[in-house]
């Protein structure tokens, strides 16, 4: 029923119950999970999870927080990993000017390099952008990449429309259920359902009414219900359409169930 387009089940928060939770989540109705890499090691762990579970796929890439440690050899290893059948995207990559854990010049350099890697390997991208909306958009616009998802979209309706016009999808997660999530609710209202993916960012960003707990993909139901309420579309239809959208994004040359 549900397609989890962005989760981090390799995170240490799941160390005590990872296997049980993943199996329970699948039984709950989450048919497919894309586990997202945030550095080289988590990308490797994502691949391992995809090899263990038939319904988990992997994205590989280095988050802006960690690009300060990146090297060209990492790019070549990422390139090698894209040939693995269940690796379906490059991500998450982008810019994060909130924490500046990596110098901004290095963030820009490795963001552009990973975008080019995605283009060269014909892979979609999973984009992270925090407090860098215009520059993220400008860098993507200047690149040849035109397929992927803007993860945890937090921008304006105008930016949302511009991304959709370029061919991208918007990742909608728990923030849409927050009382202060009115801007995101407006984006959901204005953007066609055919351009929306559902995601939890587990173990982060738990939606209402479980905000503050360790997130997991079973909470997609709250996100789907909120989108349903905003767009006045039955929840079952929201789940079906967003699942089909995710298959379009991530299937590429691979077969996503």
Domains identified in the chain and CATH numbers: 2-251 (3.20.20.140)
CA distance 34 to 50: 9
Per-residue pLDDT of the chain (257 residues; tens, 9 = 90+): 999 999 999 999 999 999 999 999 999 999 999 999 999 999 999 999 999 999 999 999 999 999 999 999 999 999 999 999 999 999 999 999 999 999 999 999 999 999 999 999 999 999 999 999 999 999 999 999 999 999 999 999 999 999 999 999 999 999 999 999 999 999 999 999 999 999 999 999 999 999 999 999 999 999 999 999 999 999 999 999 999 999 999 986 554 55
CA distance 147 to 199: 17
Cis peptide bond N-terminal to 217, omega within 30: no
β-bridge partners, 57: 34
What is the pTM for the complete model shown? Answer: 0.97
Cis peptide bond N-terminal to 74, omega within 30: no
pLDDT of residue 182: 96
CA distance 150 to 128: 7
β-bridge partners, 196: 170
């Amino acid at each position: 029923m549900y397609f989890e387009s962005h989760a981090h089940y390799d995170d240490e928060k799941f160390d005590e119950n990872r296997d049980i939770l993943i199996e329970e989540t699948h039984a709950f109705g989450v048919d497919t999970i894309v586990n997202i890499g945030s550095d080289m090691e988590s990308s490797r762990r994502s691949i391992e999870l995809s090899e263990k579970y038939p319904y988990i796929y992997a994205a590989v890439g280095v988050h802006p927080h960690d690009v300060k440690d990146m090297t060209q050899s990492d790019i070549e290893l990422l390139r090698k990993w894209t040939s693995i059948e269940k690796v379906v995207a490059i991500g998450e990559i982008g810019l994060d000017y909130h924490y500046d854990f990596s110098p901004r010049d290095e963030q820009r350099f490795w963001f552009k390099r990973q975008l080019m890697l995605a283009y060269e390997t014909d892979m979609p991208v999973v984009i992270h952008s925090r407090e860098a909306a215009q520059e993220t958009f400008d860098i993507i616009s200047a690149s040849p990449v035109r397929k992927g998802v803007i993860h945890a979209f937090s921008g304006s309706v105008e930016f949302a429309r511009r991304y959709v016009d370029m061919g991208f999808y918007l990742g909608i997660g728990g923030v849409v259920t927050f009382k202060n999530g009115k801007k995101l609710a407006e984006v959901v209202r204005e953007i066609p359902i055919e351009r929306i993916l559902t995601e939890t960012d587990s173990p982060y960003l738990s939606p209402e009414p479980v905000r503050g707990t360790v997130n997991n993909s079973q909470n997609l139901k709250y996100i789907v219900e909120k989108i349903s309420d905003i767009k006045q579309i039955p929840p079952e239809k929201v789940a079906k359409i967003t699942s089909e959208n995710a298959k379009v994004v991530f299937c590429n040359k691979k077969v996503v169930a």
